[in-house]
């Protein structure tokens, strides 16, 4: 097997609890505990678990939005938490984030075109007439038309707003996309469109996904391997087929039993 693109080793994240006058300052919320995993180029690693189990905190640390209490994340063998400013900027262009709420994650003061072009400006890529050419091409890839460039986020539907978020994420041709429940706020029919779009983009650009969800149906559709999180820990890691056909951990079986069935 080839070397992993990204590895997470014994990662911990504690948040101090803020209480009243008599509360102990030593009290902590254990958001992520002793998490280790590997991510291989071109695959989709699904992370599933109930709300509050630490999925988003883990994703934010992989994106270097949060720093861990202990442990490390290595991208191509290098610890991302030891990067200098130049290395960190380069890493962030290679590891992009798709947020859960497609409205809150977009700047309401910018047009769709300005939002998608922003990564080029921040990372100083193609600062010329090439931006317009790239912009039109990217919008077409995600199912948006050229005449929608001048519209503002409030003028789009939820699915269209998420397409803008996806377009912004793929603008710099990243290697890793971290998708934090990107379809949970969308209607079921729109969810299918967005999931198919993500698969098409993965095939076209050989993208590597970390896909977070609490929906077992979505995870089954999109993922190659699946990590099950419970109370900040990964309690089971298996291939898609193995996890659904022969779950080993009681919590995994509980999640699968909770999925509604037609009978």
Domain with 172 in it: what CATH number? 3.40.50.300
pLDDT of residue 204: 94
- Give a yes or no: residue 128 inside a domain: yes
- Give a yes or no: residue 1 inside a domain: no
pLDDT of residue 28: 82
- Give a yes or no: residue 262 inside a domain: no
Contacts of residue 110, defined as CB under 8 A and 6 or more positions apart, other chains included, come to 118, 152, 153
pLDDT of residue 163: 96
- Give a yes or no: residue 84 inside a domain: yes
pLDDT of residue 20: 58
| Alpha-carbon gap, residue 112 to 168, rounded angstroms | 9
pLDDT of residue 1: 57
Query: Which residue is associated with the tokens 């442990």?
Result: 71
- Give a yes or no: residue 57 inside a domain: yes
pLDDT of residue 11: 96
pLDDT of residue 128: 53
pLDDT of residue 39: 97
pLDDT of residue 134: 83
pLDDT of residue 260: 77
Alpha helices in the chain (DSSP H): 55-62, 85-94, 112-122, 130-141, 158-170, 188-205, 216-222, 240-245, 250-257
pLDDT of residue 123: 81
Contact predicate 73/6, CB 8 Å: yes
Contact predicate 71/80, CB 8 Å: no
**CA distances in angstroms from 42 to 56, 86, 114, 122, 224, listed in the order given:** 21, 26, 29, 26, 10
pLDDT of residue 21: 59
Domain span including residue 37: 6-257
- Give a yes or no: residue 186 inside a domain: yes
- Give a yes or no: residue 125 inside a domain: yes
**Residue 3 C-beta-side C-alpha neighbours within 13 Å:** 7
Q: Which residues of the chain are modeled with pLDDT < 50?
A: none
- Give the H/E segment covering residue 19: none
Please count the structural domains in the chain: 1
Instruction: Select from 128, 194, 124 the least CA-distant residue to 164.
Output: 194
pLDDT of residue 16: 85
């Amino acid at each position: 097997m080839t070397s992993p693109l990204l590895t997470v080793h014994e990662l911990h994240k504690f948040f101090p609890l803020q209480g009243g006058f008599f509360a102990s300052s030593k009290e902590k919320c254990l958001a992520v505990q002793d998490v280790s995993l590997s991510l291989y180029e071109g695959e989709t690693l699904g992370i599933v678990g109930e709300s509050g189990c630490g999925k988003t905190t883990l994703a934010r640390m992989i994106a270097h939005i949060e720093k861990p209490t202990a442990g490390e994340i290595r991208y191509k063998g290098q610890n991302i938490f030891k990067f200098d400013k130049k290395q960190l900027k380069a890493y962030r262009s290679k590891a992009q984030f798709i947020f859960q709420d497609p409205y809150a994650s977009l700047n309401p003061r910018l047009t769709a075109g300005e939002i998608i072009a922003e990564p080029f400006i921040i990372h100083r890529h193609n600062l010329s007439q090439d931006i317009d050419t790239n912009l039109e091409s990217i919008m077409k890839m995600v199912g948006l038309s050229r005449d929608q460039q001048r519209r503002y986020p409030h003028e789009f539907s939820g699915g269209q707003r998420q397409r803008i978020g996806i377009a912004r994420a793929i603008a710099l041709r990243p290697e890793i996309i971290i998708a934090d429940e990107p379809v949970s706020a969308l209607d079921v029919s729109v969810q299918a469109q967005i999931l198919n779009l993500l698969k098409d983009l993965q095939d076209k650009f050989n993208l590597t996904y970390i896909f977070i969800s609490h929906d077992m149906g979505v995870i089954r559709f999109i993922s190659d391997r699946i990590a099950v999180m419970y109370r900040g820990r990964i309690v089971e890691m298996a291939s898609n087929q193995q996890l659904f056909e022969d779950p080993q951990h009681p919590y995994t079986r509980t999640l699968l039993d909770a999925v509604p069935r037609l009978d």
